[in-house]
Amino acid sequence: MSQSQRLDWVDAAKGISILLVVMLYATNSAGEATNNIGALHYVIGFATPFRMPEFFLISGLFLASVIARPWAKFADRRAVHYLYFYVLWAIIHIVLKVGIASRDPGMALEALGWAVIQPYGVLWFIYVLALTSLATKVLMELRIPHWLAFAGAAALNLAQLDTQSYALDQFARYYVFFYAGYAFAPFIFNVVDKAMNAPKAALAILAIWALANGALVFTPGFVAEPGHFTMGLAEIPVIKIVLALIGTLALCVGAGLLTKVKWMGWLSYIGKRSLVIYVAFVLPMGIARTILVKFNLVTDTTLLSIVTMLIALITPLIAYWVVQKINFGHFLFTRPAWASLPQSRSKPDQPIKYGSPAE
């Protein structure tokens, strides 16, 4: 498979992931606003085992390309990059939502202070992603074998930590998937390559997986609530992590197959801009939901979920397009040179060799 084909399916997988994340928040908020559940509640319920694990796995896939770099250059690429967007958009979110919308500048200042040690809102993913990259670099420097590091990460997941640190809890919960993307990248690329070369067999296997995943999610014990979904047997820790690992691989395979469908190219389009959507989608989603509910423009939970989801997806892309057109505001979506570590600019970056084997 060519590098461009690999990039296409990775972008498509990122597109599916960001779509599911936006769907989650749009659906839960719509359910809470209407005090009801809709059809999309069951869609996000089905995707619960693999929705966020997939984001972390994809983020770890190409780490092998940069992990051997000197610390400054690596940290700039895999930590400072994400922390820049976290800090910038945490300030934007807090100022707009707390300082201006809630008219509480004192609370906004307090929230800004806490955001340093407690990830703010949906931006927790970017915060934790920087931590996972740094942790993996440490493990590589210590020459910890992949099998041992993966086992340790899995143990962290199964421990189900519930501490005072949200960042630590989320790191423990999702690091195993990031590390799996890094350590098992050659295997993952090989599976997707084979699936794309045998689409009928791949579709049959995906159908079996979907039935098994759905059966374990919707077994007795599952509860669909306006703002929350509790799985059935899939909630058992061991089953949950297995379903997550299998589900992330299934999503990668599905993304690979979807790249063969011409009219599905929009998935790769939003996947390439997933960071743009992720940092900004909550703001237009909240505004749209408030207006639609306040004026009774949309009262059906499913329709409200869909409309707010589409607005949340499209608005950041429009904002990004406008920034490119007017040539102003690039710092919102592109890290400026001043936000880089000085040592990292000593030599120009080499192109990433996508799909290169993990060490």
pLDDT along the chain (359 residues), means of 10: 68 96 96 96 96 96 94 95 97 94 89 94 96 98 97 97 94 98 96 96 98 96 91 96 98 96 94 96 96 95 98 98 96 95 58 32
- In a domain, residue 190? The reply is yes
Residue 356 belongs to some domain of the structure: no
pLDDT for res 101: 85
Report CA torsion sign: 322, 328, 332, 334. Answer: positive
- 352 within some domain: no
What is the count of structural domains for the chain?
Answer: 1
pLDDT score for 174: 98
Measured CA to CA, the distance from residue 316 to residue 308 in angstroms comes to 13
Q: What is the pLDDT of residue 6?
A: 57
Give the Cβ contact number of residue 352 at 10 Å.
14
- Containing structural domain, residue 267: 3-345
Q: What is the predicted pLDDT for the residue at 7?
A: 78
The token pair at 90 is: 């945490």
Other beta carbons within 10 Å of 16: 24
149-181 burial: b if 16+ Cβ within 10 Å, else e = bbeebbebbeeeeeeeeebebbbbbbbbbbbbb
Contacts of 315 (CB under 8 A, 6+ apart): 280, 281, 283, 284
350 within domain boundaries: no
Answer whether residue 138 is part of any domain.
yes
- Taking 3-state DSSP, the helix, strand and coil percentages for the chain, each rounded to the nearest 5, stand at 75, 0, 25
> Could you tell me if residue 357 is inside a domain?
no
Question: What's the pLDDT score for residue 142?
Answer: 97
pLDDT (0 to 100) of residue 12: 96
Give pLDDT, residue 104: 86
Instruction: Judge contact between 182 and 358, C-beta under 8 A.
Output: yes
Which residue in 253, 211, 278, 206 sits closest to 46, CA to CA?
Answer: 211
Return the CA Rg of the chain. 20
Tell me if 354 is assigned to some domain.
no
Q: Is residue 359 part of a domain?
A: no
